[in-house]
Chain A
Amino acid sequence: MTFSKLRSAGILLSFLLFIFLLTSCGPNRLDDYSDESFELVNQDGESVTFPDDFQGSPLVVGFIYTNCPDICSFITANVRKIYNADTYPEGTQFALITFDPERDRPDVLKSYAAAFEMDRDPFHFLTGSPDEIEKLMNRVNVRKAVSSEQTTDSGKSIYFLSHSDKILLIDSQSRLVFDYGGSMTPVDIVAEDLGKL
């Protein structure tokens, strides 16, 4: 092999190494939702297409139901605390999507959002038809099952759900970058990861 061929091979190897280093920097993508499209409704009754309407901005998204007092309020508060940490890229959006669309209609989500002082931009509380929500939850691997039912002292019947505990970070191209235990992961870790997007 001549010297010039060796030099060409060296340049090619350097180039490949450079490309490898470029692609290996930054977080890996766990999934890609860019080809998906789910028709949802926000707390104001406005149509929202997920994830299309959030493309171009990083998105923090948690999954909740409003009759859940412990874990889901923990997830909601964590999303709010990630926002409060103020380490997110400009334009970042924050969404909470219910997996209990039969009960969590827009007006219910609105009062829930108001209690957490999150009934404003950049927060979005989303519901939809039961079929659409089921398709979305299947796609993002959020599961639920009725765990128990009871009647309150005022005679109101309430059922409770066992469910996944999840917060996702989705990049501006609708790709899943991080998947956390929604109530378990320290907020500063999520905020730090969000800063990397």
Chain B
Amino acid sequence: MKALTGILFTLTVLLFLTSCQQESNNQTNGELMQGEGIEVSDAWARPGAEGRMSAAYFLISNFNSEDDVLTNVETDVAQTAEVHESYEREEGMIGMRAVPQLDVPAQSSVRFEQGGLHVMLMDLTQQLSEGDTFQLTLTFQSGDSVAVDVPVRL
């Protein structure tokens, strides 16, 4: 009986510990070893009205053996495009801050997702509606530049 209680206790502690681990934007997995250079995938963006805002999300994978840094984002559909991050402030308030340079470690991926990292598209030059697609160009410190098609959806 004591042994069973001990096992149950250990399982409970393990379950608690794993459920409390904070999700990280940096991910490393075996698949990255099979790629090459820097890739940007799973891109999409929210609808937005002309003159207002939208946000773009994607996954950056750095297959290189050297760390890199995302230094610039450009697109024709917004006057300004910047990397920002939403975060939880005191008492449940959600805030946002600029991320001028984003580290992309070697053999790792960084996910841009809602409620976290995103490319903020400010002062849109056109309305973005579901079904539209636009191009976004990401430039890295290494000199690599990646252009990606971004579909707009809910």
CB-CB under 8 A from A184, the residues of chain B are 115
User: Which partner residue on chain B sits nearest A184 by CB separation?
Assistant: B115
Interface residues of A (CB under 8 A from B): 66-71, 73-74, 77, 80-81, 108, 111-112, 114-117, 143-145, 147-148, 150, 152-154, 156, 158, 160, 162-165, 181, 183-184
Distance A144 CA – B79 CA, assembled complex (angstroms): 26
**Segment at the interface with A among B12-20, B30-38, B50-58:** B50-58
CB-CB under 8 A from A165, the residues of chain B are 92, 94
Please tell me if B130 contacts chain A, counting CB pairs below 8 Å: yes
Tier of interface size on chain B: 35 or more
**What would be 25 A-B contacts, judged by CB atoms less than 8 Å apart?**
A66-B52, A69-B46, A69-B120, A70-B84, A71-B86, A71-B94, A71-B96, A71-B115, A73-B46, A80-B154, A108-B49, A111-B51, A114-B127, A115-B48, A117-B130, A147-B95, A152-B122, A152-B123, A153-B79, A154-B79, A154-B80, A156-B79, A162-B96, A163-B93, A183-B115
Please tell me if B110 contacts chain A, counting CB pairs below 8 Å: no
**Residue in contact with A152 in the complex, picked from B79, B115, B128, CB distance below 8 Å:** B79
Please tell me if B60 contacts chain A, counting CB pairs below 8 Å: no
Give, as a whole number of angstroms, the nearest-CB distance from B125 to chain A. 9
Distance A34 CA – B30 CA, assembled complex (angstroms): 57
* B74-116 contact mask (Cβ, 8 Å, vs A): 1 or 0: 0000011000101001011111111000000000000000110
CB-CB under 8 A from A181, the residues of chain B are 92
Distance A144 CA – B53 CA, assembled complex (angstroms): 19
Give, as a whole number of angstroms, the nearest-CB distance from A188 to chain B. 15
* Interface hits, B112-154 → A, CB 8 Å: 114-115, 118, 120-123, 127-130, 154
User: Which partner residue on chain A sits nearest B47 by CB separation?
Assistant: A115
Known contacts being A147-B96, A153-B80, is A69 close to B50, with CB within 8 Å? no
- 4 A-B pairs with the lowest CB-CB distances in the bound complex, closest first: A69-B53, A69-B55, A111-B49, A162-B95
**Residue in contact with A164 in the complex, picked from B92, B114, B115, B120, CB distance below 8 Å:** B92
CB-CB under 8 A from B94, the residues of chain A are 71, 162-165, 183
CB-CB under 8 A from B55, the residues of chain A are 69-70, 73
User: Which partner residue on chain B sits nearest A158 by CB separation?
Assistant: B122
Q: Are A143 and B48 in contact (CB under 8 A)?
A: no
Q: Are B49 and A114 in contact (CB under 8 A)?
A: yes
User: Which partner residue on chain B sits nearest A111 by CB separation?
Assistant: B49
Give, as a whole number of angstroms, the nearest-CB distance from B70 to chain A. 17
Distance A80 CA – B153 CA, assembled complex (angstroms): 12
Known contacts being A117-B130, A162-B93, is A154 close to B49, with CB within 8 Å? no
